[in-house]
Structure 1
């Protein structure tokens, strides 16, 4: 986005949204630790004082940014549930497709959760707790979908699919695997088939 277009867009946003927009851009591009409050304020075209009126600390801003990112992922589960209310298998494949389609962006910026976990070693950090709670909720929802799809071992199937989705993101980020999106979809489909097959047929 050119500077004039960005200035026009930023000018239309309320201060809090401008700050979050700037934080998302800088945290994703440079990392949490490397970005200071002044840089965020400058990018948001506001002041540190204004930033602190909306977010008491940088940690509070990090937490709110990740809360928004988590809500976007949760919205995917919700949308697929509405689109395929009685088709848990279609919902699982829809989740996999969402991750696969997002891999090109991951290759440039990395997964915000993976990147943030690496920078937040303290498990008591509010943002770290938010990520862990979000991931646990995703696992519960995926396990429920596997159960509703009639898979023989929903816990195991959900764990395998989670490994695939998250592993594909890491592999894309470090450039170690080509055609990761296509391979991700094939492997998830294979997991579903294997856990759908009668025990004697595996």
Structure 2
């Protein structure tokens, strides 16, 4: 059975938006990739920005599931979560075609804070910050530690795209462990 058209449009958007940028990829290019018509495309997505939002929602759901799996695997231990995230970031950044964080990329392409894309980016980043805050709360650390860990993650994602993945992952690990006060070596 063939995958539904909506799913094929999202899969093509995921591949093309991440590789080339959301503004650079036209709806026509996605339509051509899927082998459908404009009428069918617009039946599923009223505008291209609606497709961008759906693409980012799909990415957000995947990220959240991955982070929740890491937290579960670490038994909620903040230092172990930082270690596992660092290892995952290093692996991800070594994959061919890695272009950093799709949400940072989307924020750069959609600077209008009132756009649906930017609101979704902000909402997902708020989720990350709260997750980090909840992770470090049992350690008695201030709430801003979640913001600090978010900045470290952002920096590691950008550095992983711009330079050596191992250096970015290692920096996230060392700085994250120092931030949460874990005396073990990163």
Tell me the TM-score normalized by structure 1: 0.80
Unmatched tracts of structure 2, length 5 or more: none
Shift of 1:125: 0.9
Aligned match of 1:96 in 82, 86, 105?
Answer: 86
Contact 2:19 2:97 in 1 (8 A): no
Unmatched tracts of structure 1, length 5 or more: 1-10, 197-202
Tell me the matched-pair count.
183
Structure 1 match to 2:146: 158
Q: Which has the larger radius of gyration?
A: 1
Deviations 1:63-105 (A, max 9, x none): 0000011111111232134334453442343333333322224
Distance in 2, Cα, partners of 1:84 & 1:108: 26
Aligned Cα RMSD in Å?
Answer: 2.3
Structure 2 match to 1:132: 122
Contact 1:143 1:158 in 2 (8 A): yes
Contact 1:142 1:158 in 2 (8 A): yes
Structure 2 match to 1:16: 6
Distance in 1, Cα, partners of 2:110 & 2:3: 29
Contact 1:106 1:172 in 2 (8 A): no
